[in-house]
Structure 1
Amino acid sequence: MGSLDEYFKCLSDRERAIFEGAISMGALFHQFTGTPVNQNTLESLKTAIEDSIRLQPSIEDVKVGINLDDAENEFGYVSLEGKMLDVKITSKFKNVKAIIRMKYIDRLKYPLIYVENIKEE
């Protein structure tokens, strides 16, 4: 990514790893919430989300969990909401890995996006 370095020169490798994971998590949230889903399409939706986010720069791994336990209705599907998502994105820039997490926090009543861990290799 040599030609991109000039655009990120004010960031450390650690900050860049966090940036790449966080920007991808934000894109995931805003791109996929509202998507119609049911038990029959659950696995294919998880795969589509994981595969598309892995295409983003510096993304090493994506794990998506979707909880549809309380999401049944008479129409046979629901719209994906943030409270249904449990996602981990691993981004890597040079020798730094950042684990970015989105998880619904009951006491906050909010799908929080946060930095779960940072490792230097």
Structure 2
Amino acid sequence: MADDPTGAERACFEAGIKFGSLYHQFAGTPVSPASAASLETAIEEAIENQPHCEAVRVDILREELADALEDSSADYTELTGRFLEVEIDVDYEGRTVHTRMEMDDGYPLMRIVSVRRTNR
């Protein structure tokens, strides 16, 4: 049989599940500049527990966070997509999908960056 797309399609599906879980589990979490690093680690470790997840990289954008707090009487705000850049790698049946979430025109978009065959 020629190249069977099932592994690639399933890897992409699995990445979507990871992003849905990440975004909807952590959106609304209180975050401050002081807690950003520990929240990044918590998110990464939580999502990496899921099946087929190879790597998660979460960056809470400190400058955007500080800007949001500039005119606030509070020292924290709610985590939203505007404060996040995320990359997730999923491996399924010899296919690795690399995905990224970042803001695009005011909306957090999750994209497939690449799908490649792995040597497993």
- Same fold by TM-score greater than 0.5: yes
Matched, 1:23 2:44: no
Matches within 5 A, 1:1-80: 12-69=6-63, 70-72=67-69, 73-80=72-79
Q: Which runs of 5+ in 2 are unaligned?
A: none
Matched, 1:115 2:93: no
Map of 1:8 onto structure 2: none
RMSD over equivalenced CA pairs, Å: 1.1
Equivalenced residues, count: 109
Runs of 4 or more above 2 Å deviation: none
Give the letter for the 1:98 counterpart. Answer: V
Q: In 2, distance between residues paired with 1:36 and 1:71?
A: 13
Which SS does the other structure have where 2:68 is aligned? Answer: coil
Which SS does the other structure have where 1:34 is aligned? Answer: coil
Map of 2:103 onto structure 1: 104
- Name the % identity: 38
Offset at 1:74? 1.6
Give the letter for the 2:80 counterpart. Answer: E
Give the letter for the 2:87 counterpart. Answer: K
Offset at 1:71? 2.2
Q: Indicate conservation of the 8 Å contact 1:25/1:100, yes or no.
A: no
Q: In 2, distance between residues paired with 1:85 and 1:118?
A: 23
Map of 2:80 onto structure 1: 81
Offset at 1:119? 0.9
Give the letter for the 1:97 counterpart. Answer: T
Q: In 2, distance between residues paired with 1:109 and 1:103?
A: 10
